[in-house]
Amino acid sequence: MKKTLIGTGFALTLMLSPLQQAFAEEPTKGELRQFDTVAHRGAAGYAPENTIAAFDKAVEMKADYIELDVQRSKDGELVIIHDTTVDRTTDGTGRVGDQTFEELRNLDAGSFKGEQFAGEKIPSFDEVLDRYHGKVGILIEMKSPELYPGIEEDVAQELKERHLDKPQNNKIILQSFNFESMKKMDTLLPEVPIGVLTSSKLEVTDSALQEFATYADYFNPSYGLVTKDLVDKVHNLGMEIQSWTVRSHDAAQFLIDMEVDGIITDYPDYVDPRN
């Protein structure tokens, strides 16, 4: 698995900006820290979230993964949007699941970020898979799957049709706040890595982590929950840890210091000195 390398030596340090030098200073004895840069809803700091513009920007910025949110239209099409309503990120109103795919596609999903993005569309899941698989890793969040009975089978079918149910180098990962949905996905797609999301202190206990480790490969908490002790516990249970959502250099540096496996960020350049 390709990962960003931090601490690559004196010659590289000379070429970096002062901020990037700070990222590259440690460790100093030839060891390399490694982590994945995950572009949250694409490079959402620079382009409208969960759109082709944001995903293209993430690829341009050399992200290891794009992260996206999957929901379902009224007529059964899998679509990429974060909120369960369209109000915040489009010029429409109402719940995603109450609108047909054609109605969703007719919305402007870019202007909220800037007029230069006017006309960006809500992408379909198959469109994103076809455009990016093999080019960048894809971290797929099942957004509120309890609202869409059977969506797990729908997502599994799309992945199987593209032979992505046996991903190379973990380049397809599924995650959700809904743990029952992730247990189901683990059954449907046993070779696809599974992640659990949480922002709750109740879910970082030893017993909770041990339960997650029975079906999950990734434990992905909000960065406010991250400690070195938690990272060590997750690793000792055989899971990796990716944390979210980084929107500052300080937050990025904190997670680097904690030695997480992935940093989920709106700004890929905040964590990747190649930008």
DSSP letter at 95? Answer: B
Annotation marks residue 133 as catalytic: no
Can you tell me the distance from the alpha carbon of 209 to that of 221, in angstroms, rounded to the nearest whole number?
11
Can you tell me the distance from the alpha carbon of 237 to that of 267, in angstroms, rounded to the nearest whole number?
30
Q: Which of 82, 133, 163, 249 is catalytic?
A: 82
Q: Which of 40, 133, 235, 249 is catalytic?
A: 40
Annotation marks residue 40 as catalytic: yes
Closest among 25, 23, 52, 22 to 39, alpha carbons compared: 52
Peptide bond into 245 cis (omega under 30): yes
Q: Is 133 exposed, middle or buried, given 0-12, 13-18 or 19+ CB atoms closer than 10 A?
A: middle
Separation of first and last alpha carbons in the chain: 20
Can you tell me the distance from the alpha carbon of 75 to that of 94, in angstroms, rounded to the nearest whole number?
15
Hey, what are 157's tokens? 């079918």
User: Which residues are the active-site residues?
Assistant: 40, 82
